[in-house]
Chain A
Amino acid sequence: MKLLFTIQGGDFTRAGHPSSEVKKVLKQLDIDGKTIKNIVIALYEAEVNVVAHAWKGTVSVEIEENKITIWVSDEGPGIADIELAMQAGYSTASKEVREMGFGAGMGLPNMKKNTDELHIESEVGIGTKVKMVNYFS
């Protein structure tokens, strides 16, 4: 089954909506709590990244019998050095974003930690595409 959401850059009040909806569906499918938690954490981090850095984005989710695949795509500044961004603590978040309690540089590392597969494609000035896969036990 498929789910689709849009994310508005800069709107922190709505960050967390897609992850909550996905969680609700996974609970109804009786996926085990730990797997759901990993997926929700990874997706929430991805959402916050879009909100904090990009102008707008979409979350597209496909749930199959044994796995969930999530694509988060945005139109935004892109990531210049993905390897560097994957390091814990590295952040390009603005002062305003940090003051709101975000931008600690843990976004991508947390996504890596909580997914079975993570692919990131990015083009500076155009946007970023993230694909995350989690398998159900």
Chain B
Amino acid sequence: MSGLPNYHALKVDASKCIGCTHCMKACPTEAIRVIDGLAVIDHERCVDCGQCHRSCPTHAFYVEQDDLAKIKAFKYRVILFPSIMIGQFPEKYNETQIYSGLKKVGFTHVFEVEQPIQLLIDSVNEYLGNEENPKPAISTYCPAVVRLIQGRYPSLTENLILRKAPHDLAAHFAIERLLLEGAQREEIGLFYATPCIAKIASVKSPVGERESIVDGIVNMNHLYNEVMKVISEVEVEDNSVQRYNLSEEGILWSLTRGESRHFGSRSIAIDGIHNVVRFLERLENDQVKGVDFLELRACDQSCAGGILLTGNRFLTVEKLERRAKRYPSAKDISESTISVDIDELKQKLDIDSISPKPLFIFGKDRVKAMDKMTRAQRIVCSLPGIDCGACGAPNCHALAEDMVNRRAKMSDCIFLQQMWEDEGKITAGKAHLNVQKKWGTDRFKADCNKRGRRNEGF
């Protein structure tokens, strides 16, 4: 199955971007270049991890979302959200008040996505039990990691577990429940509140799926603001019935070790995209032995560190851990509480296949590719090797590769240019113009409030 084309929600606001190179350096797939003083994302390479968004000192990256008014078109308006959203709100609001707040925003049904999680646990265990599936099995929970593996570690694609994420589970669960209540399928609008960019992409163009089950996406920080406008300060009516399928395991699912604690006799959980990259390099070299299950998450502290969240990630983790203690274990939730056809729901969790999409190849013609790479190697010898980024590429090696792919020229390197100036091969005026072309005239103006001069984003 080829699936939908890659959708990317991440955009750069040209009026805010100052071409400071922070994002370019943070990107794990070298997908960003600075061109004419602006960050430009190569959407082929982007895996939607959001590192650029996080590192931007001027908040120039923004994330497209659907208009909340879109929900009005549906009779049954369902908001699906991961448990971490509850952890965003100040302690004085309890979950009953938050649920009521979501209804005041305009939703008719409120579903936390990690339910009924036992179905997913069983399904993944069943997958792991099949000896034919390669080990270590890698969770497909984090969509940025899935795309990273498809693109940068294509040979590991076969290790990805062919099971969907909780938001798919909840979407199907919500539909089945509403159909039981007498709703027609076309009357149901499903909206997903996302903590991260990668989830937007995975919901809009799911890996291994033909079409998305969800009708719209709402950024979690936006929804948070909307709820905060209407949330009640006083106790509201009991709505705990909506959380009867929520369990301790479900609430902890999106946190680090939320999955790995359940699976395999030897499992590892890794969070933070650069940690994941380092580990996958080892795994690809066959230097990781005996591990059954890998939980890999792009964000530090997993989804609690999602870039569209408002709260501090460590406080969110602590709040969720406390909340989880109040909930029953997933296996203690009886099938009658779930009240829909469990086998049918379980079947919907399967993914047919995930195909590799190698990103870092130099073209199909091997001889030409080798020639290009040899030339790039030779160019690297002449570059300063300090990866300063002043050329608009993340490091000297990337610049050399851009050069042989005709996307950059020798004079983009300010060191080479300086040398040529000294050797009289280029005039000072021309050299200055070259740099100006790359970075704009404003970069040369004196300005004590110049943004991006320090790591303001960190």
* Chain A contacts to B: CB under 8 angstroms: 1, 16, 19-20, 23-25, 27-30, 33-34, 36-37, 40-41, 44, 63, 65, 136
A113 to B284 CA separation, bound complex (whole angstroms): 18
Bound Cα distance A72, B202 (Å): 45
The main secondary structure of chain A at its interface with chain B is helix
Q: Give the docked Cα–Cα distance between A109 and B374 (Å).
A: 33
Partner pick for B155 among A1, A33, A44, CB 8 A cutoff: A33
How many angstroms between the C-alpha atoms of A110 and B73 in the bound complex?
63
List B residues at the A interface (Cβ < 8 Å). 154-155, 281, 284-287, 356, 358, 360-364, 366-367, 369-370, 373-374, 377
Partner of B285, one of A1, A30, A41, A65: A41
Residues of chain B with a CB closer than 8 A to A30's CB: 358, 361-364, 366, 369
A34 and B370 contacting across the interface, CB-CB below 8 Å: no
Task: Please measure, in the bound complex, the distance between the C-alpha atom of A41 and the C-alpha atom of B284, giving whole angstroms.
Answer: 10
Contact indicator A36/B155 (Cβ below 8 Å):
yes
Bound complex: CA of A28 vs CA of B285, how far in Å? 16
- Given the interface pairs A16-B287, A20-B281, A29-B366, the reply to whether A37 lies near B374 with Cβ below 8 Å is no
Write the chain B residue with the least CB distance to A15: B287
Is B286's CB under 8 angstroms from A40's CB? yes
A63 to B377, CA, bound (A): 14
Complex CA–CA separation, A136 to B366 (angstroms): 11
Contact across chains for A1 and B373 when beta carbons are under 8 A apart: yes
- Contact: B285 with A44, CB < 8 Å? yes
Q: Which residues of B lie under 8 Å from residue A16 when comparing CB positions?
A: 285, 287
When distances are taken between beta carbons in the complex, the residues of chain A under 8 Å from B367 are 65
Report yes or no: A63 in contact with B370, Cβ–Cβ below 8 A.
yes
Chain A proximity of B202: nearest CB distance (Å): 24
Instruction: List the A side residues contacting B358 at CB < 8 Å.
Output: 27, 30
Q: Which of A16, A20, A28, A40 has the most C-beta atoms of chain B within 10 angstroms of its own C-beta?
A: A28
Inter-chain contact A28/B361, CB cutoff 8 Å: yes
| Chain B min CB distance to A78 (Å) | 27
Min C-beta distance of B43 to chain A, whole Å: 20
Q: Contact: A29 with B286, CB < 8 Å?
A: no
Chain B residue with minimal CB distance to A34?
B155
Distance of A37 Cα from B155 Cα, bound (Å): 9
Expressed in whole angstroms, the minimum distance between the Cβ of B397 and any Cβ of chain A is 10
Q: Nearest residue in B to A64 (C-beta to C-beta)? A: B370
